[in-house]
Amino acid sequence: MLFRIVTKSDLFDNSVNTRGAFLCAREAANRLKRGGGGRIILLSTSLVQSLKPNYGSYTASKAAIEAMAKILAKELKGTGITVNCISPGPVATEMFFAGLSDEIVEKVKSQNSFGRLGETKDIAHVVGFLASDAGEWINGQVIIANGGSLL
């Protein structure tokens, strides 16, 4: 089977991923003072790079967010507003653990250079950097924060 069976709920959830990011980015761009600078940071998933089976609709919804970040960065040229996207790998959250066996969690841990799941602080540090003045020269990029995934 090329794609797992996608339910109406899956389609709704994934369209929320894309539409929600679009609406937030558009609103942020409109509210940030033009010419005064600012930062827009979107979130994706490193599944966009790994292209794992059974995640087709979810991965496509997140790939759209990465494309939006790159395009919006170009559209905001000259405003001092940067737009970037962070693409995290698996992060130890309740949502990640939901429905996963210990065996699967251990397998996921073994698939990156650190042999562990990401922590929310791992992603927060990247967000903090991009949001700071130190991140002003980074624009239109997708930053992959996945512990050096081996897949």
Q: Render pLDDT for 117-146 as a digit per residue (tens, 0 to 9).
A: 999 999 999 999 999 999 999 999 999 999
Task: Identify whether 94 is part of a domain.
Answer: yes
For residue 15, the model assigns a pLDDT of 77
Residues 6+ apart with CB under 8 A from 37: 79, 80, 81, 82, 136
Task: Identify whether 1 is part of a domain.
Answer: no
Q: Render pLDDT for 6-34 as a digit per residue (tens, 0 to 9).
A: 555 665 566 788 999 999 999 999 999 66
Q: How many domains does the chain have?
A: 1
CA pair distance 52, 48, nearest whole angstrom? 8
Task: Identify whether 38 is part of a domain.
Answer: yes
- CATH of residue 104's domain is 3.40.50.720
Task: Identify whether 57 is part of a domain.
Answer: yes
Task: Identify whether 118 is part of a domain.
Answer: yes
Task: Identify whether 81 is part of a domain.
Answer: yes
Task: Identify whether 150 is part of a domain.
Answer: no
Residue type, 109: K
Residues 130, 143 contacting (CB under 8 angstroms): yes
- Tokens standing for residue 9: 């709920």
Task: Identify whether 151 is part of a domain.
Answer: no
Query: Domain range for residue 92?
Result: 8-145
Give me the active site residues, please.
Answer: 58
Q: Render pLDDT for 73-101 as a digit per residue (tens, 0 to 9).
A: 999 999 999 999 999 999 999 999 999 99
The whole-model pTM stands at: 0.88
- Tokens standing for residue 67: 């494309």
